Amino acid sequence: MLAMTVNIALKHEVDNSYPIIIDSLQKITLKTKVAIVTNPKVAGLHLAYLLEKIEASEVYIITVPDGENYKNLESLNIILEDLFNHRFNRNSMLIAFGGGVIGDMTGFVASVYQRGIDFIQVPTTLLSQVDASVGGKTGINNRFGKNLIGAFHQPKAVYIDPHFLKTLPKREFAAGVAEIVKMAVTFDKEFFEWLEKNDIHDEELMKIAIEKAVKTKAWVVAQDEKERGLRAALNYGHTFGHVIENETKYTKYLHGESVAIGMTMANDVACELGLMTQDEAGRIKKLLEHYALPTTYDIVDVELFYETFFLDKKSSDSSITFIIAKHLGGVVMRDDIDAELIKKVLTTYKES
């Protein structure tokens, strides 16, 4: 079995590098009070398995409802209250046990509880294993959009155990594949071509893909921990995707699914700009569709869709920065794309 450790070394702060361990979970010994933050579904499926591995002075379980709709200030406060009730202190530790929602929210709680305590991530979905496990982004949603309130807070360690993926619904698996495809398209043509040839439903191939995606993301984040430059490239597909999630109130699509649509839209823009050929855009679409990922979306109101970009945090005062894949394995950030060109592409998605 492939077992690997990716060490995330961050330049910005000296004391917050951390290991990502891709392997069956081994014994984790913690000499502190620990709270495992999870949701009822993950707890039912996998908590016994996790608890077998955790050794700590005291262990508490905190569950919050499943889903993006509950990734908000109220849930944050519920977790905080639980921690205060159980007298957690600055030496205590949180374990985020679930998908991206649990990871983002637990990380944010850890960042603000008594001005910052440690946390560990045990991601249980493919998406959170390849995406949320690297980067230190934490946060919650509000009525204005997704991840609009948050912090950069690095975990002490990330444990990626393929065991958890056995119970993952097909759609959620595919949503994780979308982020893997994203990394390949923007940074690694060879990896993209490998993905075209290898179906990562196979467990051994999947582990190789996870390793590849995590390493690529780790490299990007190490260049730019606070998202001022290169790291924005990771938002390929996300600028469009966030609007879609916002419009559909986080209920219709999984995050990775909306990113799949978003990448397709971004590729159409790339074609218009001459940065990508129709053939390349078609190959990406084909790969996404092979995993049953959506690549179309019915836009009701093009103007409203366009306007919603400005609520997204990646936009700045008067322009929106679009992340556009350049052929295969390349990426550019463009804040000078004509609104009409974007709207022209959006119109091709208009509800007929």
Please answer whether residues 134 and 155 qualify as being in contact, where contact means their C-beta atoms are separated by less than 8 angstroms.
Answer: no
Please tell me which residue in 235, 245, 247, 280 is annotated as part of the active site.
235
Provide the binding-site residues for a copy of itself, judged by CB under 8 A. 12-15, 32-33, 57, 73, 77, 80-81, 84, 87, 89-91, 111-116, 137-139, 142, 144, 147-152, 226-227, 310-311, 313, 315-317
One-letter amino acid at 36 equals I
What are the two backbone dihedrals, phi and then psi, of residue 38, each rounded to the nearest 5 degrees? Answer: -150, -175
CA 252 → CA 168, 237, 247, 294, distances in Å? Answer: 18, 17, 10, 11
Question: Please, which residues bridge with residue 120 across strands?
Answer: 95, 157
Q: Which of 27, 87, 115, 143 does the annotation list as catalytic?
A: 115
Cβ proximity to a copy of itself: between 42 and 76 the closer is 76
Annotation says 231 is catalytic: yes
> Catalytic residue among 33, 46, 71, 137, which?
137
Shortest separation between residue 87's beta carbon and a copy of itself, angstroms: 7
Q: Taking the complex as a whole, how short is the minimal distance between the CB of residue 234 and a copy of itself, in angstroms?
A: 14
189 in active site: no
Residue 242 known to be catalytic: yes
- Active-site residue, 170 included: no
- Counting every residue written for the chain, the total comes to 352
Distance from C-alpha of 158 to C-alpha of 85, rounded to nearest angstrom: 27
Q: Which is nearer to a copy of itself, 188 or 312 (CB)?
A: 312
> How far is Cα 70 from Cα 324, in angstroms, rounded to an integer?
31
Q: Which of the residues 71, 146, 231, 285 is marked catalytic?
A: 231
**Residue 217 among the catalytic residues:** yes
| 283 noted as active-site residue | no
* C-alpha closest to that of 143 among 73, 39, 240: 73
How many Å apart are CA 95 and CA 79, to the nearest integer?
Answer: 12
CB of 13 to a copy of itself, least distance (A): 6
User: Is 334 labeled as catalytic in the residue annotation?
Assistant: no
User: What values do phi and psi take at 281, rounded to 5?
Assistant: -60, -40
* Residue 258 C-beta: closest distance to a copy of itself, Å: 20
Give the catalytic positions in this structure. Answer: 115, 137, 179, 217, 227, 231, 235, 238, 242, 255
